[in-house]
Amino acid sequence: MKKIILMMLLFSAMLHANVTMSQKSYNLLMEAQKNIEEDKIKEAKILLNTLLEEKNSYVQSYAYQYLANISLHNGDYKSSKKYYETIIKLDALDKERIDEIKFSLSRIYLSLEQYSQSLKLSHELLKNSKIDKKDIYEIFVFAYYYTQNFKKSIFYSQKFISVSKEKKENIYQILYASYIELKDHKNAIKTLKVMTRKWYTQKNYWLQLASLYQENKKYKKALSTIELSYKKNVLDPKKHTLFFVNLLFQNELYQKASSTLELAFKENFLKENKETFELLISSYLNAKEYDKAIIKLSHSKLAKKKKYTKILANLYYNKHDYKSTITTLTKKMKQKIKRSDTELHILLALSYFEINKKQNSITHLREIFHSKKKKRAITLAKALRINIDDLK
């Protein structure tokens, strides 16, 4: 977003008597100021335009200044720019006041995305004015960032931070964004750590920090960042469950991942769909919570896919429940087992052998024998003491 809050330097309306300004002109300016304060803008403009008719650069400069302030108040930066440029050309005010006008103009240029003009004017002010350097640095930060000169934006961000007593959030936002643009994740993380401490209620900063840690494979730090945000009541666990579970997976905390998902489903702040179901089953398997996996796979409507049937059959086999393995593959599986499904034929051959149904075992070994895995069938037949000729 190329729009920033424009903090304009509005001048005091109090004018000092000057030999170059008549009493009449001074009174008209004061009357114009009073009208502005009472929101009588139309009347104020009539008086200011009257003053512009005078052939007095000093009076004209103050009139343009008031018109610029009215335009700024209305968000009309283009008119304000024109008025300020005119004041600078008239060059009737003292240098310090002209510098203040230039500073305001540099901010207007920034707001209008005229970055080169803003930078040029700001560099002049940095060399030869009493304007606070910190304020000029702030212009550089944004102007260089929006012209994609990220290194200079970082340079002046650091300059600003070094001389400023307060930490300004928008400066840190640009500093962080500049590091990201340059793929300097190390310094981006350092910046975000400051931001999460100073503006700890900003949810995005915590998520960005955790994501950066995750992207750089610092999974423990990513997880601790999220957990700390939970403790500080910044992030709502209900809204970031999946992100949290993924971090638990990356830290191999599978049992905690499964319990987190179980709670989310129970409390109904996470819907059980294909993605979350697969995540739950994966967490059960990795945590070796096989009984829970069996129950879930046996009863869930989402477990109808072939891959889940295979998983369930293998779980039964590993528990030596060979009958359930066979039932799962022969009755629960909707489609016929293809010859190319070698692993399933092996599972059935072994299960039938275990319950002393040798002929059924041979049937499935024969399927393997006539597939591309012939050697596998021969090896298994020998192990089970089955005659190879029975497979032909």
* One-character DSSP codes across 53-114: TSS-HHHHHHHHHHHHHHHHHTT-HHHHHHHHHHHHHHT-S-HHHHHHHHHHHHHHHHHTT-
DSSP 156-199: HHHHHHHH-SS--HHHHHHHHHHHHHTT-HHHHHHHHHHHHHHT
Cβ neighbourhood burial of 67 (10 Å; 0-12, 13-18, 19+): buried
Confidence at residue 16, expressed as pLDDT on a 0 to 100 scale: 40
Indicate whether 314 belongs to any domain: yes
Instruction: State which residues form the domain around 73.
Output: 1-131
| CATH code of residue 98 | 1.25.40.10
Indicate whether 71 belongs to any domain: yes
Cβ neighbourhood burial of 136 (10 Å; 0-12, 13-18, 19+): buried
Indicate whether 276 belongs to any domain: no
- Of 131, 148, 165, the position where a domain reaches its end is 131
The residue with greater pLDDT, 382 or 194, is: 194
Calculate the alpha carbon distances from 150 to 111, 147, 174, 277 in Å.
Answer: 19, 8, 9, 44
Indicate whether 94 belongs to any domain: yes
Look at residue 105 and tell me whether its pLDDT is greater than 70.
Answer: yes
What mean pLDDT comes out for the span 34-49? 90
The overall average pLDDT reported for the chain is 89
Q: Are 107 and 7 within 8 A, CB to CB?
A: yes
Look at residue 374 and tell me whether its pLDDT is greater than 70.
Answer: yes
Indicate whether 249 belongs to any domain: no
Indicate whether 84 belongs to any domain: yes
Rounded Cα gap, residues 335 and 366, in angstroms: 19
Confidence at residue 330, expressed as pLDDT on a 0 to 100 scale: 86
Look at residue 11 and tell me whether its pLDDT is greater than 60.
Answer: no
Confidence at residue 13, expressed as pLDDT on a 0 to 100 scale: 34
Indicate whether 159 belongs to any domain: no
Rounded Cα gap, residues 373 and 381, in angstroms: 13
Indicate whether 145 belongs to any domain: no
- Of 131, 166, 197, the position where a domain reaches its end is 131
The residue with greater pLDDT, 331 or 217, is: 217
Look at residue 12 and tell me whether its pLDDT is greater than 50.
Answer: no
Of the pLDDT bands very low, low, confident and very high (cuts 50, 70, 90), residue 159 is very high
Of the pLDDT bands very low, low, confident and very high (cuts 50, 70, 90), residue 20 is low
Task: Please give the DSSP secondary-structure letter assigned to residue 390.
Answer: G
- Of 107, 131, 155, the position where a domain reaches its end is 131
Rounded Cα gap, residues 196 and 211, in angstroms: 14
Rounded Cα gap, residues 361 and 207, in angstroms: 54
As a whole-number percent, the residues of the chain with pLDDT over 70 amount to 94
- What's the number of domains the chain is made of? 2
Place of tokens 């003491």: 385
What mean pLDDT comes out for the span 102-114? 95
Look at residue 137 and tell me whether its pLDDT is greater than 50.
Answer: yes
